[in-house]
Amino acid sequence: MQYIYYRIILNFSKVRSNDMPEFTGMLFLTMLEFFNIQSVYLFLLGSGLTLIPSKELFFIYAFSSGVSILVFNLFFLFKRNRIIKKKYQDSNEENKIRNNIFVIGYIVISFVIYYLALDYNHNYYR
């Protein structure tokens, strides 16, 4: 996750209006991780393997898991962003291209799987 965070920071630092690329990068990565965890839960829900029977409990679970991911990323990524930058700034050009493709693929796949999970369970809590 550290390298993905590093690449996201580099891309967000290129945006002129972004004054805090480290923070927005952490929030973006938190959102992706939240989507991944919720996707697994939604696929389990569609299969009938869930422990959360009501809509209210699902929202409590979703909120608490999102806050947990945010706190984890705050302490292990955002607070250590200088160390992470130093660790990965000297990678060679061939690795940068390959790893950029990996990061873009991770982002796209996270959104696609989350969309599929939502589509799979679109009628569950109505």
Note the pLDDT tens digit of each residue in 69-102: 999 999 998 899 899 888 888 877 778 888 889 9
Name the residue among 49, 68, 62, 52 with its Cα closest to residue 114.
62
∠ CA(107), CA(84), CA(31), 5° rounding? 30
Model confidence, pTM:
0.84
Note the pLDDT tens digit of each residue in 48-62: 777 776 767 878 888
CB proximity list for 41: less than 8 A, separation 6 or greater: 50, 61
Domain positions in the chain are: 2-120
How far apart (Å, rounded) are the C-alpha atoms in residues 14 and 22? Answer: 12
